[in-house]
């Protein structure tokens, strides 16, 4: 994700992860799958995560945006929000994702915006609204992540995201 340096993070989040020696941009990126699909994160906080994904290269046989591609964008954005909510002492693990597909998209970029529905100590739930370039809703998704404590050995997991 070459554009990742343009992500807007709250200063307190930048400071928290810098103190731990963690590459914040890599940790809160779209990951390997998101990279292959062209997901770009432009804004990230526990209260709002915004990202885009091209339709081209992410279509099903009829030439429409693949529902699984929408799911990847939704889970990426909701997971980033959950990780930021949990902070550096927690790891967010998706436990439930559902997506309702409202209309097809054939070209351009889709934009996803994740906002919290619930931010607890052990779970976080985000609603993710995906729209096309005409601001028409393509998909509405909901992701719930379990927030578990970082355990010995997780350092490798966290550093492998970098």
Among left, alpha and beta (phi > 0; psi -120 to 50; other), residue 48 is beta
Which tokens sit at 30? Answer: 């779209």
Whole-model pTM: value is: 0.87
Binning the chain into helix, strand and coil, the percentages to the nearest 5 are 35, 40, 30
Count helices and strands (H / E) in the chain: 5, 6
Read off the pLDDT of residues 128-156 as tens digits, 9 standing for 90 and up: 999 999 999 999 999 999 999 988 877 66
Question: What whole-number distance in Å separates Cα of residue 116 and Cα of residue 129?
Answer: 12
Which tokens sit at 90? Answer: 């927690």
Exposed/middle/buried for residue 146 (C-beta within 10 Å: 0-12, 13-18, 19+): middle
Question: What whole-number distance in Å separates Cα of residue 117 and Cα of residue 48?
Answer: 11
Predicted confidence (pLDDT) at residue 11 exceeds the cutoff of 90: no
Q: What's the rounded mean pLDDT across residues 99-105?
A: 98
Write down the pLDDT at residue 18: 78
- 4 falls in which pLDDT band (50, 70, 90)? very low
- 22 falls in which pLDDT band (50, 70, 90)? confident
Q: What's the rounded mean pLDDT across residues 17-38?
A: 77
Active site residue 3: no
Which tokens sit at 46? Answer: 């526990």
Of the residues 3, 75, 155, 156, only one is catalytic, namely 75
Q: Where are the domains of the chain?
A: 11-160
Predicted confidence (pLDDT) at residue 162 exceeds the cutoff of 60: no
Q: Which CATH superfamily is domain 11-160 in?
A: Hotdog Thioesterase (3.10.129.10)
Write down the pLDDT at residue 45: 92
């Amino acid at each position: 994700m070459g554009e990742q340096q343009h992500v807007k993070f709250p200063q307190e989040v930048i400071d928290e992860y810098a103190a731990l020696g963690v590459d914040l941009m890599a940790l809160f990126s779209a990951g390997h799958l998101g990279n292959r699909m062209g997901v770009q994160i432009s804004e990230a906080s526990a209260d709002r995560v915004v990202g885009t994904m091209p339709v081209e290269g992410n279509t099903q046989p009829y030439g429409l945006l693949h529902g699984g591609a929408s799911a990847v964008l939704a889970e990426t954005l909701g997971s980033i929000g959950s990780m930021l909510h949990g902070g550096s002492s927690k790891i967010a693990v998706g436990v439930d994702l559902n997506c309702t597909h409202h209309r097809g998209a054939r070209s351009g970029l889709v934009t996803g915006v994740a906002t919290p529905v619930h931010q607890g100590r052990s779970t976080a739930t985000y609603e993710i609204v995906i729209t096309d370039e005409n601001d028409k809703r393509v998909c509405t998704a909901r992701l719930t992540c379990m927030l578990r404590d970082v355990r010995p050995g997780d350092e490798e997991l966290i550093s492998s995201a970098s």
